[in-house]
Amino acid sequence: MFYPALFWDYFKNYMKTRLTYRSDLLVEILSDLMFQGVNLFFLLVVFLHTNLLDGWTQSQMLFVYGYFMVPYGIFTCFFNLWGFTERYIVKGEMDRVLTRPAYNLIQLILENLDPPSMAGSVVGLVIMAWTWPSLGVDWTWTDPLVLILLVAGSILVYAGIYIAFTSISFFTDAPTGILPLVWNIQNYGRYPITIYNRLITVLLTGVLPFAFVGFYPAAYYLDRAEWGGMALLTPVVGVVFFGGAMLLWNFGVKRYRGAGS
């Protein structure tokens, strides 16, 4: 019960701090929703000029986008490590983290919680529910359970990729500038993989498998016969990438020698 209690303490402190300035919290939530709204608007504009995009309908594209938002919101809430290099390596706060009894990565996660990001996940579920009737597919009792499994796998894919790239900070004290590039690449995962050329398809499937955070798992509900096998690989890919990222992270922590003077 140590870590659940620790999470609850951090969450209470976060809420006390943010609710002191409630307008700021509301603005942050609204700005996140507006950002997602702009992306959604772009998708809707595309379908003002065509009925199909490489065989995919507007409802199918929106469903994929809605799914993409669900694991991304949860991931951003718990793995908000964008400023890790500057704060923990350059400024030396990693020294403080390593002197405490909690596992270092869990402590970093708790220190950087971002609950407002969960609003995006809620909107994603709403989009999926809204588009579902127009997809023409039947709902079975196993679908919610499969959805939970797929979302968990997608979160692990996100976490694995970003933890791996964040671990680079242990080997250099200068910001690498690579995370913004990775963030831009991940956005390709919110569209069907078939609209890209072969090179991008291989990149999004086997190198930086962002196709497993959006299209493949969402396609499980769109065309189970064709994409069901790839979709069900999502948890496997997530476990593999997350496990590899943790090995790299732990190796980096062992190599870390402190900020010095």
Q: Rounded CA gap, 196 and 188, in Å? A: 9
Alpha-carbon torsion (95, 97, 101, 106), positive or negative: negative
Q: Is residue 134 part of a domain?
A: yes
Domain range for residue 193? 2-255
**How many Cα atoms within 13 Å fall on the side-chain side of residue 60?**
20
**How many Cα atoms within 13 Å fall on the side-chain side of residue 82?**
10
Q: How many domains does the chain have?
A: 1
Q: Is residue 196 part of a domain?
A: yes
Q: Rounded CA gap, 119 and 99, in Å? A: 34
How many CB atoms neighbour CB 143 within 10 A? 14
Q: Is residue 260 part of a domain?
A: no
Q: What is the pTM of this model?
A: 0.88
Q: Is residue 69 part of a domain?
A: yes
Q: Is residue 261 part of a domain?
A: no
The pLDDT-based confidence of 260 (bands split at 50, 70, 90) is low
Per residue in 194-248, pLDDT (tens digit) is 888 889 999 999 899 999 999 999 999 988 888 889 999 999 999 999 999 999 9
Q: What is the largest CA-CA distance in the chain?
A: 64
Report residue 41 as tokens: 């608007």
Q: Is residue 101 part of a domain?
A: yes
